[in-house]
Structure formats: structure tokens, C-alpha cells
Amino acid sequence: MTVPSPEPGPVRRTAVLTGASRGLGRVVAGLLAGEGYDLIVVAREPAPLAELAQHARRFGGEVVEVVGDVSDRRTRNEVRARTGRWGGLDLLVNNASELGPSPLPPLLQLSMDSLDRVFRVNVAAPLALVQELAPALARRRGLVVNVSSDAARGGYPGWGAYGASKAALDLVSLTLAHELEAAGIAVVAVDPGDMRTAMHQAAYPGQDISDRPLPDVTLPFWAWLLGRPHAEVTGQRYLAQSDHWGAGR
């Protein structure tokens, strides 16, 4: 008697999320885990990353921790290797960011080493991850989300290095959206708005930032974005705390 093979289960959605252990990254990781994604979560600090991974596993999915700096090729190589067993990637969220020196210096006092570090983390590393993961994203017709900032357009004193890097990331995002359209990969930029995070506090040392909302305020936007057809969103720049999310193009 031949026993029929069991029907294969549905393919689980997969995501890579950088800067995952704190702030916005932690909130998005929790949302994705709750939505049934298997995750590769990346951050520099092992303890908060392990705590986040433990929380995300409660939803029943696979959660892989990669401890490292996204500007380090070895970290990106490990991420690519870990995605290989999945056969494809549905979502890449480039959330890891470098603020620069704290307190924030004016551009005339900014060291070139600091500027280089900000651009390596905020521009070069996201692009390098897209390059590394494009084949996996193409297999699932996946989505790339590059996390931007209002500093990309504000010209705020002290925010010059960070803002310039995010402005560059916006242009990289739009260019990639055009270049990867034929491969079925969508790319968007998202400005999450001011939030009560460790990075925002570092930008204002000693000041009270309790009037800023927690990153959870962006959850309705992320739920909306993940439910949209990719052809409708690619090439857009979104404002996660705006009344009109698409107003930031």
C-alpha cells in the first residue's frame, strides 16, 4: 500500500530587518512576527537583540539573530547566507541608522570620519544589502523599505550629516524602484516621523523628549503598507505619522 505524501503547507513569508533590537525596529519586528513572518533580525548589541528574538518567537515563527554592524561586509554576508535556506525573501527593511556625534555638531565642525561613518551606515549599507539580497527578493517579488527621516528635507542645524545621508537614501530608493521594476522588486522610502527613541534622545542630550510619541504610533501605517499591492507603492516616499501617508513623495 502506497501512503500518499502530505500536501506541502503554505510558503511562509520571510523578512530581514536591520536595527531590529530597539525603537522602531523592535515595533516593526513584533508586527511582522505577529503577521506570520519568519525573520532575520540584525543589530549591533546582542542582549537586546536576543530579548527581541525571544519575544518574536512567541508567535510561532522562525527568528534568526545576526549580531553585527550592517556597514561590515561580514554581517551582510551572514544575512545573505541565512536567507539562502528560505528560497526567497518577501521583505527587506533597512532600518539601521547612524546619527553621528552627540551632541550634533554644525557642519563646519563635523569631522570627515564622522561623515564617512554616517554615510556608510545610512546609504552604502542599505544599498549593499539590496545588492546582496536582490536574487532572493526577485524570487518572491519582494518589497524593500528604506527608513528615511524628515531631516532629509529639513535643513535643521546640527542634522546636516544625518539629513544629507537620508536625502541620499531617498534618491537611492527612487532610483532602485525604477531599476528593479522589471525584476518585480518594489522599493519605498518611509519617514517615520519624530519618535521617543534612544537615537532621538541622543540628538537632544539632557532634554526632555517625553512629548514625542512612542514608535507604536506608526503601527497603522506599517499594517497598511504591508497589505498594499507592490505595484501601487513602489517609488513612493511615505510619512508614517501623516494624515495622508503618501504626502511625502
Q: What is the pLDDT of residues 80-118, one digit of tens each?
A: 999 999 999 999 999 999 999 999 999 999 999 999 999
State the amino acid at position 157 in one-letter form.
Answer: P
pLDDT digits (tens, 9 = 90+) for 52-87: 999 999 999 999 999 999 999 999 999 999 999 999
Polymer length of the chain: 249
Q: For the residues 8-27, what does the mean pLDDT come to? A: 88
* Rounded Cα gap, residues 36 and 13, in angstroms: 7
CA angle (189 as vertex; 186, 191 as ends), nearest 5: 150
Phi/psi for 113 (5° steps) reads: -65, -40
Active-site amino acid positions: 162, 166
Query: In this predicted structure, what is the pLDDT of residue 6?
Result: 47
The tally of CA atoms less than 13 A away on the side-chain side of residue 3 is 1
Domain residue ranges of the chain, discontinuous segments joined by +: 14-248
pTM: 0.93
Among the four given CATH numbers 3.40.50.300, 2.40.50.100, 3.20.20.80, 3.40.50.720, the one describing domain 14-248: 3.40.50.720
